[in-house]
């Protein structure tokens, strides 16, 4: 049983032990995040010390010593009652609508968990999560996106943007699905679709991934990056680090929020331009949703292969959206330039879907033919989850 949900009287014991562990770490000038083994040794020593004293004085014993040590370490170096959910490899997302309304998602299915915090505890957890990120959330900046040390993405909104309580989302990116073979094993990707996408990555083709929110776009993008040729130099561009991929020659770039004075902001448009100065063999943009689409299209037309995600309801709609977003960059951009540029530089579009059961899978892959007809990009269907293979204009 987790001490977060244990009967009254058990959690206070962990609180007292955690305070002693903090005091010892402070005396020894030890950082539990940098030296977790020392923190664990001290936690075990303090738990056993408590039981020794409790036996002599008739205090309440800690029956589950190992569980108490885990809870103490979560309080000292982790994220308290949420740490158990963060450590669970089957949980893909955690969100708090209120201190006593906490949910998790497994396999795309949401469920409420029997955990109740306080407003102060939620604020304390968020502050600890943001401590190492250099980002903040306050009345002047009521939204924040940040990456946690394990690669999870944190998103927070505070009142008065929310009605009363802090709204917190923690989206995990599970390592079990970070390559194409594992996506095939999980049923998210058909073997023939995996071969098509892997061959395209190895051949230096540009791939766009589309889908709704939580359809698995970022997971598929990370698996594609892992499938790229090992000799390629890859530069990734994201608002907040999410991809968590590894490659022999990879640089990951992240945007930056403005300071209190409104200065210092680094946008995706700036990052895409800077990435092109870093000799990339492949440019990866975590999510395209604004004027940075123009810089991506321009980069693809210089011969740099790319990969990116975009929110859309179908693969063909994704191409139309990618053609519309550059128009946000200024009045001098029109579709007469953008449409042929996309038709000639995007080679495949993979569309992700999340079914009613929560299962995520690649529903279709289309390939632009390079032609523009009646104001749209012609495409042919390369793969459909229902087995269809037809050539269809956008």
Q: How confident is the model at residue 158 (pLDDT cuts 50, 70, 90)?
A: very high
Average pLDDT for the chain: 88
The side-by-side arrangement of strands in the sheet containing 167-171 is 109-112, 101-106, 93-98, 167-171, 153-157, 143-147
pLDDT tens-digit map of 19-33: 899 889 888 888 776
Q: How confident is the model at residue 2 (pLDDT cuts 50, 70, 90)?
A: very low
Question: Is residue 348 predicted with pLDDT exceeding 90?
Answer: yes
Stretch 129-145: mean pLDDT: 84
What is the pLDDT, as a whole number, of residue 331? 67
What is the pLDDT, as a whole number, of residue 241? 87
Q: What's the pTM value of the predicted model, to 2 decimals?
A: 0.74
Stretch 343-352: mean pLDDT: 97
Closest to 5 (Cα-Cα) out of 93, 81, 106: 81
> CA torsion angle for 385, 387, 392, 394 (degrees, to 10)?
0
Question: Is residue 394 predicted with pLDDT exceeding 60?
Answer: no
C-alpha distances out from residue 312 to 7, 12, 170, 209, 342, Å: 47, 49, 23, 9, 16
* Cβ proximity of 227 and 204 under 8 Å: no
Stretch 249-275: mean pLDDT: 88
Q: How confident is the model at residue 11 (pLDDT cuts 50, 70, 90)?
A: low
Architecture of domain 78-172: 2-Layer Sandwich (3.30)
What is the pLDDT, as a whole number, of residue 3? 37
CATH of 175-384 among 3.40.47.10, 3.30.450.80, 3.40.50.300, 2.60.210.10 = 3.40.50.300
Output 79 or 394, whichever has higher pLDDT: 79
What is the pLDDT, as a whole number, of residue 26? 85
Stretch 161-168: mean pLDDT: 95
CATH 3.30.450.370 residue window(s) in the chain: 78-172
- Give me the residues paired with residue 209 across strands: 309, 350
Joined tokens for residue 99? 């201190």
Q: How confident is the model at residue 149 (pLDDT cuts 50, 70, 90)?
A: confident
CATH 3.40.50.300 residue window(s) in the chain: 175-384
pLDDT tens-digit map of 99-114: 999 999 998 889 999 9
Stretch 259-275: mean pLDDT: 87
Stretch 287-316: mean pLDDT: 94
Q: How confident is the model at residue 225 (pLDDT cuts 50, 70, 90)?
A: very high
Stretch 331-336: mean pLDDT: 78
Stretch 271-298: mean pLDDT: 94
In sign, the C-alpha dihedral spanning 37, 2, 66, 20 is positive
All residues at 6 or more sequence positions from 326 whose CB lies less than 8 Å from its CB, including other chains = 291, 293, 294, 297, 333, 338
Question: Is residue 153 predicted with pLDDT exceeding 80?
Answer: yes
C-alpha distances out from residue 286 to 55, 62, 116, 306, 362, Å: 56, 46, 34, 11, 18
Stretch 361-381: mean pLDDT: 94
Quote the percentage of the chain above a pLDDT of 90.
57
What is the pLDDT, as a whole number, of residue 390? 43
What is the pLDDT, as a whole number, of residue 343? 95
Question: Is residue 98 predicted with pLDDT exceeding 90?
Answer: yes
In sign, the C-alpha dihedral spanning 303, 308, 311, 315 is positive
Most confident of 28-32, 145-149, 166-170: 166-170
Query: Which of these ranges, 230-244, 249-263, 348-362, has the smallest mean pLDDT?
Result: 249-263
Question: Is residue 393 predicted with pLDDT exceeding 70?
Answer: no
Quote the percentage of the chain above a pLDDT of 70.
93
Question: Is residue 236 predicted with pLDDT exceeding 50?
Answer: yes
What is the pLDDT, as a whole number, of residue 176? 63
Query: Which of these ranges, 183-197, 239-253, 309-323, has the smallest mean pLDDT?
Result: 239-253
Stretch 283-295: mean pLDDT: 94
């Amino acid at each position: 049983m987790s001490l977060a949900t244990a009967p009254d009287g058990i959690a206070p014991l962990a609180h007292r032990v955690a305070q002693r562990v903090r005091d010892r770490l402070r005396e020894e000038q030890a950082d539990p995040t940098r030296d977790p083994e020392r923190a664990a040794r001290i936690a075990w020593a303090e738990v056993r010390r408590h039981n020794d004293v409790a036996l002599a004085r008739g205090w309440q014993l800690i029956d589950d010593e190992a569980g108490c040590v885990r809870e103490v370490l979560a309080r000292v170096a982790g994220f308290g009652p949420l740490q158990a959910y963060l450590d669970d490899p089957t949980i893909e997302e955690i969100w708090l609508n209120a201190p006593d309304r906490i949910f998790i998602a497994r396999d795309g299915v949401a469920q409420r968990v029997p955990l109740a915090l306080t407003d102060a505890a939620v604020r304390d957890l968020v502050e600890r999560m943001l401590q190492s990120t250099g980002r903040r959330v306050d009345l002047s900046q009521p939204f924040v996106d940040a990456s946690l040390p394990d690669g999870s993405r944190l998103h927070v909104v505070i009142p008065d943007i929310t009605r009363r309580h802090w709204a917190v989302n923690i989206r995990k990116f599970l390592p079990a699905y970070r390559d194409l073979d594992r996506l095939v094993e999980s049923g998210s990707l058909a073997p023939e679709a995996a071969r098509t996408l892997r061959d395209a990555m190895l051949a230096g083709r540009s791939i766009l991934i589309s889908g709704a929110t939580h359809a698995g776009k970022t997971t598929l993008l990370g698996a594609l990056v892992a499938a790229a040729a090992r000799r390629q130099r890859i530069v990734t561009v994201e608002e907040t680090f999410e991809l968590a991929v590894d490659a022999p020659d990879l640089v990951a770039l992240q945007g930056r929020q403005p300071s209190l004075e409104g200065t210092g902001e680094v946008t995706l448009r700036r990052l895409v331009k800077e990435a092109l100065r870093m000799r990339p063999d492949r440019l990866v943009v975590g999510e395209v949703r604004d004027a940075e689409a123009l810089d991506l299209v321009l980069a693809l037309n210089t011969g740099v292969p790319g990969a990116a995600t975009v929110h859309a309801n179908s693969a063909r709609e994704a191409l139309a959206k990618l053609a519309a977003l550059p128009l946000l960059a200024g009045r001098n951009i029109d579709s007469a330039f953008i449409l042929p540029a996309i038709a000639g530089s995007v080679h495949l579009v993979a569309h992700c879907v999340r079914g009613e059961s929560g299962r995520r899978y690649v529903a279709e892959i289309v390939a632009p033919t390079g032609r523009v007809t009646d104001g749209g990009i012609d495409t042919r269907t390369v793969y459909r989850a229902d087995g269809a293979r037809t050539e269809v204009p956008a």
